[in-house]
Chains A and B, each alone.
Chain A
Amino acid sequence: MSFLVLERLDKTWPDGTRAVRSVDLAIEPGEFVVLLGPSGCGKTTTLRMIAGLEEPTSGRVLLGGQDVTRRSPAERDIGFVFQFYALYPHMTVAENIAFPLECARVPRAERAVAVARVADRLDLARLLGKKPRELSGGDQQRVGLARALVRKPSVWLMDEPLGALDGAERLSMCEFLREQQQEHRVPTVYVTHDQEEAMRLADRVVVMNEGDVLQTAPPAEVYSDPATLFVARFVGSPGMNLLDDTESGDFVPDSPRSATGRDESGKKSPDSVCGVRPEFVRFEPSSALRGRVVVDAFHGACRYVHVETPIGRVVVRRGAHERVEVGAEVGLAFDPRGVRWFDRASGRRLA
């Protein structure tokens, strides 16, 4: 039986805006699910309905088999983790972290072990005796997270908890959350607009836009087989190349519907879009598809080269040391294994 079930969950604001449209989702025990989408896609509203902070317009929330749709947040045994925390200024870091355990009447010895463990993992051990005002902003943020994560509720709801951290800290927090997850298997619903974070953390990703769920699948599947054009663009950094080959007609392979999809002059049908990830495009001097390099961006372990072509801009992933001049003319070829097709009108992927 699924641990947390959302059934046709709907939220319409008083002004008529449908923030969340008929969302169905079943979360298994121990599963880490990430709701991913841009600002205003409905992900936070969905999370708040699970928490009981927002009442659904229609639909149900089931927790452990019980309908909790009309129950208050306090009746749901939920751990809510936000982006910002207020620490208790008169308490030390150790006391701040231990506070939720104290409230839950966890014995002192057990508390000490839990605090030491989380502090060690988040690199806070040397700060345990300090007061919040003696800490930097980043350290305060990590203490807040440590305090939020020290307790083990029956489900965790996390709303962009790493939003205020910068690069390296974010990464180590992601790894910490992942390790916690492997160890304790507390089911988690995590909200973010950052697709990299979603890919790193999730067992399954739920991609949302404008209140709709567009795809629910493991990260690798969302990445390689996006269900819609929106998912193709949104997931991946940079996103999938989406190419329009209707004018010239012969640069990308034929679409699955091309047998009937050409007009009398041999032009391709305008009803499909070809998608290909940057790692499936290569420089090929003999290729008929020509273009001009407009950006050569170094990314550390690789480079992303942007090429302007007659069928649109194509981003190519290259080796870190394979520098090219902006302005250079190059030929491009696609690896057919990486080519995906979408219906232009509906945005859905073709079989």
Chain B
Amino acid sequence: MTERALELAGVSKRFGSVEALVGVDLALDAGEFLVVLGPTGAGKTTLLRTIAGLEVPDAGNVRLFGRDAELIAPAQRDVALVFQNFSLYPSSTVRENLAFPLRAPSRRLSAAEIDERVQWAARLLHVERLLDRPAKKLSGGEMQRVAIGRAIVRKPKLFLMDEPLNNLDAKLREELRVELRELARELRTPVVWVTHDQAEALTMADRVALFVAGRVVQTGTPEAVYARPVSPLAARLLGTPPMNVIAVRRVDGAWTTDAGHALARAASVAPERATLGIRPEHVRLEGGAAEAVVLVVEDWGPERVLLARLGTLELHVLAPRDCALRAGDRFRPALDERRIVLWDPAPR
């Protein structure tokens, strides 16, 4: 068995009355890209700080590359932490900013070695032509590239990224998602990437950990977590538009809404009540029993997103680009039964 890069077992951390981490179990294989996805305030930053050794867990154990992290001082952990706020020296050049982490006396690198590393990092992050520019003259995207360059240049054994794309324009985020994913693959360095942006989780992760209120609620490949979320809460964290979550009863062999609209066949062994989940792309525009009315049509480029009302229920449907439905039109949505997810009914 290959050595795990990181292993958390039962890690808890409390600040006064706030439980920031509650019995967190998490493992990261060598070279793996793990995205921790959760809403603001879920404790994601505390998780990273605990791995980096900046917080000491109240309970549980952190292991880094097979060793008990408690025995390794933060400075010796060889992990690089990148924050969403670009932490650069504003009047120093990009070159000086990149070289700085290498100048620590403990590193004993020659000037030539430092220069070589700086060039290497600058090339990987496409900032070579900016090397002699002062950091304060950079755009936001350029600054964040350099900030990541400062982490890479040390060749750490583990990257901890705390919402590094947060302050950037949408287009730049999209580009950096792809670029940084490729970079991580090239470096073969494991990454824990923390975010509230579901697109980052879906597109970048080898594995996703859904993180809510200090707890890991589900882990798996993006495909698996997307297809089979463990709870309605998990379902809503991943996917846009979000999964439709509907309270249903079993009536005459059909899953039926509270307002009495039959949505899909129900197995005879199924329970009386359940919560049903269906992704918007698994709702067809015709063939269903109940009629819905379109409230809003949004143009998403390659497809359209409809928000429709079915009885008292609001339903998102992903429709092809040539869909002719407009606000006010009626249609009979049908659920793809193979894609339905069922959970225990919500408490009443």
Contact = CB atoms under 8 A, between A and B. Distances in A.
Interface string B271-312: 000000001110000000000000110111111010100000
B298 A301 contact: no
Interface pairs A-B: 10 shortest CB-CB: A297-B203, A301-B281, A194-B170, A200-B298, A193-B169, A219-B299, A279-B302, A178-B296, A300-B239, A166-B196
A199 B305 CA distance: 11
A326 B33 CA distance: 15
19 contacts: A38-B172, A39-B139, A39-B169, A166-B40, A166-B196, A171-B241, A179-B295, A182-B296, A193-B170, A199-B298, A200-B298, A201-B298, A297-B178, A299-B202, A300-B226, A300-B239, A300-B240, A300-B281, A323-B223
B315 to A, nearest CB: 12
Contacts, number: 112
Interface in A165-224: 166-168, 171, 174-175, 178-179, 182, 193-196, 199-201, 219-220, 223
Contacts of A220: 299
Given A167-B198, A298-B226, A136 B41 contact: yes
A297 B202 CA distance: 7
B344 interface: no
Interface string B164-186: 00000111101001100110010
A162 B95 CA distance: 36
B116 to A, nearest CB: 26
A171 B140 CA distance: 25
A167 B199 CA distance: 9
B224 to A, nearest CB: 10
Contact of B185 (A39, A279, A326): A326
Contact of A298 (B170, B197, B202, B295): B202
Interface size class of B (residues with CB under 8 A): 35 or more
B109 interface: no
Contact of B238 (A175, A178, A300): A300
B327 interface: yes
Interface stretch (A47-55, A98-106, A109-117, A234-242): A234-242
B222 interface: yes
Contacts of B240: 167-168, 171, 300
Given A39-B140, A167-B196, A223 B301 contact: yes
A301 B295 contact: no
Interface in B214-236: 222-223, 226, 236
Contact of A294 (B40, B182, B280, B299): B182
Given A167-B198, A168-B242, A297-B178, 8 more contacts: A174-B298, A179-B295, A179-B296, A220-B299, A297-B177, A298-B222, A299-B203, A306-B178
Contact of A223 (B40, B41, B203, B299): B299
Interface of B: 39-41, 139-140, 169-172, 174, 177-178, 181-182, 185, 196-199, 202-204, 222-223, 226, 236, 238-242, 279-281, 295-296, 298-303, 305, 307, 318, 327
A277 interface: yes
A301 B318 contact: yes
B299 A200 contact: yes
A166 B170 contact: no
A302 B240 CA distance: 12
B170 A195 contact: yes
A232 B257 CA distance: 43
A38 B175 CA distance: 13
A215 B101 CA distance: 45
Interface in A259-315: 277-279, 294-295, 297-302, 304, 306
A195 B170 CA distance: 8
A181 to B, nearest CB: 9
Contacts of B226: 298, 300
A317 interface: yes
Contact of A234 (B171, B236, B242): B171
Contacts of B307: 175
Contacts of B295: 175, 179
A294 B184 CA distance: 12
B336 to A, nearest CB: 12
B259 to A, nearest CB: 18
Contact of B223 (A171, A196, A294, A298): A298
Contacts of B40: 136-138, 166
Contact of A168 (B199, B236, B296): B236
B124 to A, nearest CB: 15
B302 A166 contact: no
A174 B296 CA distance: 10
B305 to A, nearest CB: 8
A14 B172 CA distance: 29
Contacts of B242: 168, 171
